[in-house]
Chain A
């Protein structure tokens, strides 16, 4: 069987501060023993969700090769990112593209929109002639629901945030990568315009077979478009499964709290419970050995302090939670 497009094996990223005159050296584990597989077929949208500090942006940075892993591997078609030579790296970068959060900062305000496309076509030598180039650009814009005449001759400031983000998607479409890392692509775009970006993602997945790592803190958009979801808590996976499984029936106490906290857009369904947060220092002293959620967990056991709980299979269909509550009823998930 062909190796998966992208495989992350036991990835760990530790940030170290060098320590100053009075401040001691510190270590922050941003990502701990994280594994993920994206298969070649079918193309999928995998959501990586979590709060700030959960490690989701670190994950994007290591997959895009911006920062090396402390330990573990990232394999692209079975080849380790860390051992690639220049040519292979170029190939990797072409096939693993990024769409970032801020659709305002990625454009050079002096150039018209068409410049974005011309640059990428020249750089990767995608077209042989002017007319081929024009056709390619038009096709890419159509995939994300735009038309060349409307946008190409415009300057970035003349477009809405939603249009700019879709143009980034169209740019990525030209390169026809296998994986797109989308880091909070809709969080800076107004709610009424988000749907068009999400729709463009679905289009790329279904028509071009591009897989997405959709990194977000927003469970509701993930619920609308995501296939699988990974919920991170302080650097490790709390729960994973299909998006519908995890959000409809969350198992991990943290994920239950998270789903419960999303305000329901329905005035007839007001909050009827109060949520409490423990004190700050309790959170900061989170143990480095046991479960990271221990200080906040309503169902904690002594057991949880001993070691980080592995992922337990809940239902035999790929729904897994890293919590000792499911130790007895579940078979341990097979190691990847």
Chain B
């Protein structure tokens, strides 16, 4: 039964996932690479949050941190992740295994490599179900798998196929089917459509939207395609060099980005509507082992001030539901007086 708008609003105010000060480092011989440098965000019930940033910004590592899938030499250094009241980071592995798939599921990047090539498709899904719910009657399982197939738009014959017999789009749907098999509360989709051709990508993206709607799951979508984000998510969290620099509703990010990096990101989206002059930004970034004191964006920021080189700006809620980490703004969201914004026009 469809919920009323009032019910939906109420549900949307409930936090299902709270991430606090999550830090993930990768150990290297010359010092730790700080991939995720202490991030905080919430995921509300039924919403889709887009986590965007360029390669190396730590967006995938953050997701793997939440899922406790960070592999050595990486490790979670600090932080708390709370899912529906359960604290995840310090939970024992055996307890966490119960939560994986049933409450927190991953739809991986590059479905090509995430399916077992020696197992038929249905076995991969039923294995996951049985691992959590115990042995089940074959017919029941078959019905469940076929129901999942219907949801993600896979034909029945895929049931007995091997992964190599499927196209990229179909493999991606199998991964979506596995992700939702146990009705998780939160699904994390890591660049789930980025390896697909644009037409197939659109079809898979539609499938994900439909499935999300039908099951009412909350979702974190990781990606770098701003076009896809505009179509699919409710809120966007922009990540740069391991930090969140801006979190806001998707319309706000596109219409009025406040952080200088978000502005660059939005301006550099190529459009099919108009040919506009190319907006060039320099790409010098700092050594991730040894970030400079102060703001992480100072080396590329067109508005950099003295203060940015010494104090790191915290993520502050400047406007309603709009958090920004930048010294350019006062607490009420207005520009500070001595801001040099001439480059902005």
Residue interface bits A231-266, CB-to-B below 8 A is 1, else 0: 000000000000010010000000001110111111
Segment at the A interface, from B72-80, B134-142, B262-270 = B262-270
From the candidates A199, A220, A268, name the one contacting B271 in the complex (CB within 8 A).
A220
From the candidates A199, A258, A271, name the one contacting B278 in the complex (CB within 8 A).
A199
From the candidates A195, A244, A258, name the one contacting B281 in the complex (CB within 8 A).
A195
Residues in chain A near residue B225, CB distance under 8 A: 263
Flag if B254 contacts A265 (CB, 8 Å): yes
Flag if B206 contacts A258 (CB, 8 Å): no
B33 to chain A, nearest CB (A): 13
The verdict on B71 contacting chain A, using a C-beta distance below 8 Å, is no
Residues in chain B near residue A279, CB distance under 8 A: 155
Flag if A192 contacts B264 (CB, 8 Å): yes
Flag if A195 contacts B203 (CB, 8 Å): no
Residues in chain A near residue B155, CB distance under 8 A: 279
The verdict on B320 contacting chain A, using a C-beta distance below 8 Å, is no
Flag if B200 contacts A277 (CB, 8 Å): yes
Flag if A276 contacts B197 (CB, 8 Å): no
Within 8 A of A (CB), among B263-287: 264-265, 268-272, 275-276, 278-285
Give A334 to B36 CA distance when docked, in angstroms.
59
Flag if B268 contacts A268 (CB, 8 Å): no
A200 to chain B, nearest CB (A): 10
From the candidates B167, B197, B202, B285, name the one contacting A217 in the complex (CB within 8 A).
B197
The verdict on B224 contacting chain A, using a C-beta distance below 8 Å, is yes
Give A195 to B205 CA distance when docked, in angstroms.
27
The verdict on A34 contacting chain B, using a C-beta distance below 8 Å, is no
The verdict on B55 contacting chain A, using a C-beta distance below 8 Å, is yes
Most buried by A among B200, B203, B250, B280: B280
Give A268 to B275 CA distance when docked, in angstroms.
20
From the candidates B199, B250, B270, name the one contacting A223 in the complex (CB within 8 A).
B270
From the candidates A191, A262, A277, name the one contacting B169 in the complex (CB within 8 A).
A277
Residues in chain B near residue A162, CB distance under 8 A: 283
The verdict on B198 contacting chain A, using a C-beta distance below 8 Å, is yes
Flag if B278 contacts A275 (CB, 8 Å): no
From the candidates B170, B231, B270, name the one contacting A280 in the complex (CB within 8 A).
B170
Give A318 to B245 CA distance when docked, in angstroms.
47
Residue interface bits B189-224, CB-to-A below 8 A is 1, else 0: 000000001111111011000000000000000001
Residues in chain A near residue B269, CB distance under 8 A: 191, 220, 265
Flag if B227 contacts A160 (CB, 8 Å): no
Within 8 A of A (CB), among B207-258: 224-228, 230-231, 250-251, 254
The verdict on A198 contacting chain B, using a C-beta distance below 8 Å, is yes
Flag if B206 contacts A264 (CB, 8 Å): no
The verdict on A136 contacting chain B, using a C-beta distance below 8 Å, is no
Give A319 to B229 CA distance when docked, in angstroms.
33
The verdict on A221 contacting chain B, using a C-beta distance below 8 Å, is yes
From the candidates A196, A247, A265, A266, name the one contacting B280 in the complex (CB within 8 A).
A196
Flag if A195 contacts B276 (CB, 8 Å): no
The verdict on B54 contacting chain A, using a C-beta distance below 8 Å, is yes
The residue of chain A having its C-beta at the shortest distance from the C-beta of B226 within the complex is A265
Give A221 to B227 CA distance when docked, in angstroms.
13
Flag if A247 contacts B54 (CB, 8 Å): no
Known A-B contacts A217-B198, A220-B272, A267-B250; A192 and B278 likewise in contact (beta carbons under 8 Å): no
From the candidates A199, A217, A225, A262, name the one contacting B227 in the complex (CB within 8 A).
A262
Give A163 to B281 CA distance when docked, in angstroms.
11
Flag if A192 contacts B197 (CB, 8 Å): no
Flag if B203 contacts A277 (CB, 8 Å): yes
Residues in chain B near residue A217, CB distance under 8 A: 197-198
A324 to chain B, nearest CB (A): 22
The verdict on A301 contacting chain B, using a C-beta distance below 8 Å, is no
**Could you pull out 18 A-B pairs where Cβ atoms are within 8 angstroms?**
A145-B280, A160-B285, A161-B55, A191-B226, A193-B281, A195-B281, A196-B278, A196-B282, A219-B272, A224-B270, A257-B199, A262-B272, A263-B205, A267-B230, A267-B254, A270-B230, A270-B231, A277-B200
Further contacts, 11 of them, CB under 8 A, given A192-B281, A194-B268, A194-B270: A51-B198, A160-B285, A162-B283, A191-B265, A196-B282, A218-B270, A257-B199, A265-B254, A266-B254, A270-B230, A277-B200
